[in-house]
Amino acid sequence: MPDRSPNRRQYLVAGTAYASRLPQLRVTAVARAAGGSVAGLNRLFGSFSAYRVELMFHWLDGIRDAVAGVLARTEGPARLPQAVQTWLDANLACPAVRALMLEQRRDPKIAERIQQRFRGFVVVLQLELRERGWVRYEVAGRLYAAMAIEVAQSEFEAGRALPSLRETLRLALERP
């Protein structure tokens, strides 16, 4: 008889979907949403704490893939603003996981892994700004990423998109 218990990916996908609707992750609810059990989740991940860390990186990978998708299918001046908007939307979509990230980054090892993901975002910005002919694209990529992170954090705290911040960031990115 085939094993119908969820695999790691199914637990992570279920956790992401659950976290997009509710502010707090609960092990029983996540296990149920995946069609599995707490024991099954613990067997695959070791513990719910370890699962939460994996979920956070699964979420960050999803954000990266969403941005890469926009960059792959968009041309012209709208490319970078759309990619940044996608990044902000994705950040806003799962407040429970973002809260988890803010909590987890107190652990230096996890903080370093999170920093690596953000460095990837900085590199994307730098390459796009270079493509647009910005002279100081390396520094600008880093400082503009700090602005984008500020928008994401403010939206997380507000629990909604903040159009004035997004519009300001867009104006900065679209400058001649």
Interface contacts to other proteins, rule CB under 8 A: 105-106, 136, 138-140, 142-147, 149-151, 154, 162, 164-165, 167-169, 171-172, 175
Q: How near is the Cβ of 62 to other proteins at its closest, in Å?
A: 24
The dihedral of CA 29, 34, 39, 43: what is its sign?
negative
Task: Give 68 or 149: the residue with its C-beta nearer to other proteins.
Answer: 149
Q: How near is the Cβ of 105 to other proteins at its closest, in Å?
A: 8
* Among 168, 162, 108, 160, residue whose Cα is nearest residue 144: 168
Percent helix / strand / coil, the chain, rounded to 5: 80, 0, 20
CB count, 10 Å around CB of 124? 20
Task: Give 55 or 140: the residue with its C-beta nearer to other proteins.
Answer: 140
Q: How near is the Cβ of 91 to other proteins at its closest, in Å?
A: 15
